[in-house]
Amino acid sequence: MNRRTFAQSIAGGALLSAADAQPAGRKTNFYLFDYFYLRQGSQGTRLNEFLSSIMPITVKNTQAVGVFTSIVAPRQPLTLMISGFSSLEEIDAAGLRMSRDEAFRRASEKLESASEPAYDRSDRVLLRATNFSPDIVPLKEKPKTPRVFELRVYHSPTYRQLGFLHERFAGPETAIFHRSGIFPILYADTMIGTNMPNQTYFMPFESLAAREKAWDAFSADPEWQKVRADSVARGGEIVADQNIMLLKATGYSPIQ
């Protein structure tokens, strides 16, 4: 990213932050998404053993946490860890606390001592929750049948168009989602990452069949068709491209 692009990115983020000030009392304002890209073989097993072993430490240092493996993704296998925080300062403090924790140090040394790395590469993305994003609340009981989670990342050509996307989600679109059977548990904008500006949203479904039924109902909804046409007339194609993943929670993930 060159200096001009970086400056434009910061300016765009500032404009959005003014329009999307976080409501008082929000528990989770920021998220880290850690993507681990794996080879076929034992990498996934060893990485999950590591993440499972540090989960008690992780839970103590985050507002929300979940670990997911890919069902369908642009590159597979993939493990995604989502960590929620109340502030940027909390992210920094959590990293320091974990690095000083003896259990974390031992688990890290064990992971790194293997002849093969635990993953081929990783990407970390910092996101800020939108003002219309709910807080993630883990279920009181683990579902009898594992849920399917869908992650969508929508790229807008400009921050102005991302603002239109915010208005659409905060207004009629989420209401149409809900009556169609789609219940996102997170909406967030990328602060540091790739393909910016973009918005991420994350939603569970009871099954792949339930997901297909819900999206079919949404696509056929007359109000949605009108909302989309009005949106295009006002701001053009505010979503230039989208990245979609289907995931399942690991057995040790607090978010199920």
Domain parsing of the chain, residue ranges: 3-19+27-249
Contact 125, 189 (CB under 8 A): no
pLDDT digits 0-9 by tens, 162-209: 999 999 999 999 999 999 999 999 999 999 999 999 999 999 999 999
pLDDT digits 0-9 by tens, 124-165: 999 999 999 999 988 888 898 999 999 999 999 999 999 999
Say which amino acid occupies 84: G
Q: What is the pLDDT of residue 7?
A: 32
pTM confidence score: 0.87
Q: Say which DSSP state 181 is in.
A: T
Sequence-separated (6 or more) residues with CB below 8 Å from residue 155: 195, 196, 197, 198, 239, 240, 241, 242, 243
Spelled out in words, what is the top-level CATH class assigned to the domain 3-19+27-249? alpha beta
Q: What is the pLDDT of residue 148?
A: 98
Q: Dihedral angle at the C-alpha atoms of 107, 51, 64, 178, nearest 10 degrees?
A: 180
Q: For residue 133, give the nearest of 187, 175, 75, 63 by alpha carbon.
A: 187
Report the alpha-carbon distance of residue 173 to residue 165 in Å, rounded: 10
Say which amino acid occupies 255: I
> Would the pLDDT of 14 be above 90?
no
> Would the pLDDT of 113 be above 90?
no
Q: What is the pLDDT of residue 13?
A: 43
Report the alpha-carbon distance of residue 251 to residue 40 in Å, rounded: 20
